[in-house]
Amino acid sequence: MKKIFIAVLFLGTLFSSNGIFAQTETSGRTEYRQTHTKSTELKHTKLKVNFDYAKEQMNGEEWLTASPHFYPSDSLILDAKAMLIHEVALDKNGAKTPLKYAYKDDMLRITLDKTYTRNQDYTVYIKYTARPNEVKDKGSAAITDAKGLYFVNAQGKDADKPTQIWTQGETEASSAWFPTIDKPNQKTTQEIYMTVPDKYVTLSNGLMKSSVKEGNGLRTDHWVMDKKHAPYLFFMGVGDYAVVKDKWRNIPVDYYVEKEYEAYAKQIFGNTPEMLEFFSKKLNYDYPWSKYAQITARDYVSGAMENTTAVLHQESAQQKPGDLIDENRWEDVISHELFHHWFGDLVTTESWSNLTVNESFANYSEYLWNEYKYGKDFADYTLMKAAEGYFRDPSNVTKDLVRFNYHHKEDMFDAVSYNKGGSILHMLRNYLGDEAFWAGMHDYLKTNEYGTGEAHQFRLSLEKVSGKDLNWFLNQWYFNSGHPTVS
Ligand SMILES: [Zn+2]
């Protein structure tokens, strides 16, 4: 996730921080935000969806394959926000047996047909309607809404705006468009059949395996993601886009832009293949996913989002040669979202408290790319700007980088997790030396790939590679707050 409109965001942060301060002081809030307990292990999520543009709803069918995580269990508890649930059944090779369920307070509690053990997979079928406009969560300063699924100009009433559909999962809004365990410590493979008006293109995670015309002006695209990732990284986009094709090694690199920007798509996003090569080499870990696409969206609720293989950028990414003549103001965002495909998508924060293992790395990737492409002086200048961003909000001084007592999970998306965390990585790199730092980064990815991470796992990798104890460093910089004052 990348926030932009720093000034606006900063105001929002100030207001919300003041609110937290007031609450902390008066109520002494010390709630411990523990990592979500894994009772169930998601395995595969298969969806068939179509869209009701008039009602701004989505009709969905889901086949969810899962098993108990460790302890035997006869129940499956899913997040499902503001939905209508029509049918819940056990699916055994296509034969459906109805299951008992209770749907209340955005939780779908399903009673399975028997007790399953941890090695026994089952598949549950759910027929539902997603109603994003009924979702009660209201978002935050960093992510200004939490409807999960967004219809833009769905009835075509605004002549100046394209009709689009897009989704935004982070932090826990994917469960507004499919029932799931909407926590970052779950991972599942995925396939989605999206039925849309034939005039539109679609984008989702992974590769499109088929595209079939339905004969009534509709078309069904089948997208398959064969490597597991967290539910908040699921994505669907639908609209009238030009798709500009690029390539890195044998991996398709696609840019989805509104048609009037088609001619400039490579000027905006064209450094992506070079970034893929640079980061793959630096990490000694080749980009692990089947394609890399970037799409723009109208009325987006944040800056950009690292949905695996299907990054969403807000509309200001779209620039014309007049805008691009001095600089591409979106380049930091492009490197940030790409780097998340290792730090965030491949190894995912196990909880929002540990968001640093996603956002500090993505933040630091902006420095790394700038250093490589434009030189150390320019990169150092951007690092100074980042530090200024941290210092601007006095409340940042009191926040630990890893925080188990945040007020709202989206408060974690602040200048501590981003700016300060990125600067701390820069410090670690200088302390350990380039070679040890990069070997440690590689070890952390390799050890935790397709799983989750927390700050201690990063420490263990750096210690293993360098032979140096780093508890003192993490205690000071990750589990404590503030900064040295030099006078
Ligand atoms: Zn980010």
d(CA 414, CA 339): 18
Residue 479: the pLDDT is 98
Report DSSP letters for 341-354, one per residue. Answer: TTBTTTEEESSGGG
Residues 159-194 pLDDT 10s: 999 999 999 999 999 999 999 999 999 999 999 999
Do 374 and 330 have their domain in common?
no
**Sign, CA torsion 258/264/266/269:** negative
* Tens-digit pLDDT profile for residues 52-64: 999 999 999 999 9
pLDDT (0 to 100) of residue 29: 57
State the distance from the centre of ligand 1 to the C-alpha of 338, rounded, in angstroms.
9
pLDDT band at 21 (very low <50, low <70, confident <90, very high): very low
Q: What is the pLDDT of residue 26?
A: 37
CA of 230 to the centre of ligand 1 (A): 15
Regarding whether 82 and 128 lie in a shared domain, the answer is yes
Q: What is the pLDDT of residues 248-307, one digit of tens each?
A: 999 999 999 999 999 999 999 999 999 999 999 999 999 999 999 999 999 999 999 999
**170 within some domain:** yes
Q: What CATH number did the domain enclosing 220 receive?
A: 2.60.40.1730
Using 50, 70 and 90 to split pLDDT, how confident is the model at 2?
confident
* 220 vs 196: CA distance, rounded Å: 6
What's the gap in Å between 349 CA and the centre of ligand 1?
12
Per-residue pLDDT reduced to its tens digit, 22-51: 333 334 557 899 999 999 999 999 999 999
Q: How remote is the CA of residue 3 from the centroid of ligand 1, in Å?
A: 8
Distance 454 CA to ligand 1 centre (A): 16
Domain identity same for 79 and 114? yes
Q: Tokens 């790319």 — which residue?
A: 369
CA of 194 to the centre of ligand 1 (A): 27
CA–centroid distance, residue 304 to ligand 1 (Å): 8
Q: pLDDT tens-digit profile of 108-129?
A: 999 999 999 998 999 999 999 9
Which of 120, 70, 76, 124 is closest to 98 using CA atoms?
A: 124
| 11 & 117 share domain | no
What are the Cα distances from residue 173, in Å, to 43, 150, 287, 401? 19, 11, 27, 24
- Average pLDDT of the residues of the chain: 94
Residues 333-373: tens digit of each pLDDT: 999 999 999 999 999 999 999 999 999 999 999 999 999 99
Domain assignment present for 356 = yes
The Å distance, Cα 439 to ligand 1 centre, comes to 23
What are the tens digits of pLDDT across the range 321-336?
999 999 999 999 999 9
Could you give the percent of the chain with pLDDT greater than 70? Answer: 95
Give the CATH number, domain containing residue 378. 1.10.390.10
Considering the domain architecture, whether residues 305 and 453 belong to the same structural domain is answered as: no
In the listed set 339, 363, 395, which residue is the last one of a domain according to the structure?
Answer: 339
Which of 303, 323, 339 is the last residue in one of the domains? 339
- CA of 275 relative to ligand 1 center, distance in Å: 16
> What pLDDT is stored for residue 486 in this prediction?
87
Residue 394 CA to ligand 1 center (angstroms) comes to 22
Whether residue 239 is found in the same domain as residue 206: yes
Indicate whether 152 and 288 sit together in one domain.
yes
Q: 255 CA distance to ligand 1 centroid (A)? A: 19
The answer to whether the CB of 395 falls within 8 A of the CB of 418 is no
pLDDT at res. 4: 63
Which residue among 308, 339, 370 closes a domain? 339
Q: What is the count of structural domains for the chain?
A: 2
DSSP 8-state secondary structure symbol assigned to residue 34:
P
For residue 65, the enclosing domain spans 46-339
Q: Compute the distance from residue 72 Cα to the ligand 1 centre, in Å.
A: 36
| Together in a domain, 402 and 363 | yes
Cβ contacts of 361 within 8 Å, gap of 6 or more? 339, 340, 342, 343, 344, 421, 422, 425
pLDDT digits (tens, 9 = 90+) for 406-441: 999 999 999 999 999 999 999 999 999 999 999 999
Distance 381 CA to ligand 1 centre (A): 20
Average pLDDT of span 470-487? 95
pLDDT of residue 145: 82
| Same-domain status, 222 and 210 | yes
Asked whether the predicted pLDDT for residue 102 surpasses 60, the reply is: yes
Same domain for 256 and 140, yes or no, is yes
Shared domain for 328 and 423, answered yes or no, is: no
pLDDT at 141: 73
Q: Are residues 304 and 206 in the same domain?
A: yes
438 three-state secondary structure: helix
